[in-house]
Amino acid sequence: MHILNAPSTKSLKYAIRSGLIKNCPFTKEAINHAEAIFGPYASRLKGKSTRPTPKKTYDDFFSPPEELYQHNRSITVFIDHTEIENAKFLTCIDTTVRYRSCIPMQNLKTDPVFEALDKIFRRYNKAGFQVKTIKSDRAFIPPTDDMLDNMGAIDPTAAEDHEPTAERNNRTLKERVRVALAQLPYKVVPKVITECLGRQAAELMNVFPQKDSISSQFSPQQTH
């Protein structure tokens, strides 16, 4: 088999049976015994084996009814920054879809805040929504003075007051992250783990339908 450059077992048996190999002392029964004792020819397996056919994938993408969007294209978002354990986040939730975002930031300076907001707004724009009003604490105004043209109308709270919707969103996300941290078998976790848990908390909450959303049947993830 090695000299013949590893033909198939069937071809080798045919060659021996038909006398194509002169003065060959082996029989097809000897080939069967060799395979039973030593297994398949290793070099042939390595050289001729092909990748098995992968399982077919199906696209299970579902598009909610267009009627849900007809009168809900313009939305209002509530933004705030919060600190969970050892990580800083920009949080966001809207009153239409009830979609939550939790974007890690290195600090609260203008550039990181703008990058986080850009990620959030791009997601809304991709889904066909347009952010008309941004509500936030007055403490959020200083880093956004240079962004007014790109962000739309900012509606800050009164002095020394807090945006209740954003605060409630922060509290809910903090609870979910602390639950996840309590499930870990570690007493101390690095900052990057906390950031991943913050993103995951928001993403998983978007999986379930929200009672105050535009639909009680479709989750924010489906409608966003």
- The pLDDT value given to residue 132: 83
**pLDDT confidence of 71, banded at 50, 70, 90?**
confident
Is 145 a residue whose pLDDT tops 80? no
The predicted model scores a pTM of 0.67
Cross-strand bridge partners of residue 136: 156
- The pLDDT value given to residue 100: 92
- Give the tens place of pLDDT for each residue, 11-47: 888 888 887 878 888 888 888 888 888 877 777 778 8
**pLDDT confidence of 153, banded at 50, 70, 90?**
low
Whether 194 and 87 have beta carbons less than 8 Å apart is answered as: yes
- The pLDDT value given to residue 55: 85
pLDDT, greater one: 148 or 136:
136
Q: Where does the chain have alpha helices with state H?
A: 9-17, 28-38, 42-48, 110-126, 148-151, 164-183, 191-205, 220-223
Please report how the helices 191-205 and 164-183 are oriented relative to each other, as an axis angle in degrees rounded to 10.
120
- The pLDDT value given to residue 104: 92
Is 149 a residue whose pLDDT tops 60? no
Whether 87 and 198 have beta carbons less than 8 Å apart is answered as: yes
Provide mean pLDDT across the span 44-55: 81
Provide mean pLDDT across the span 80-88: 87
Is 56 a residue whose pLDDT tops 90? no
Is 121 a residue whose pLDDT tops 90? no
Contacts 24+ apart (CB under 8 A), 191-196: 191/86, 191/87, 194/84, 194/85, 194/86, 194/87, 195/87, 195/89, 195/104
pLDDT, greater one: 171 or 14:
171
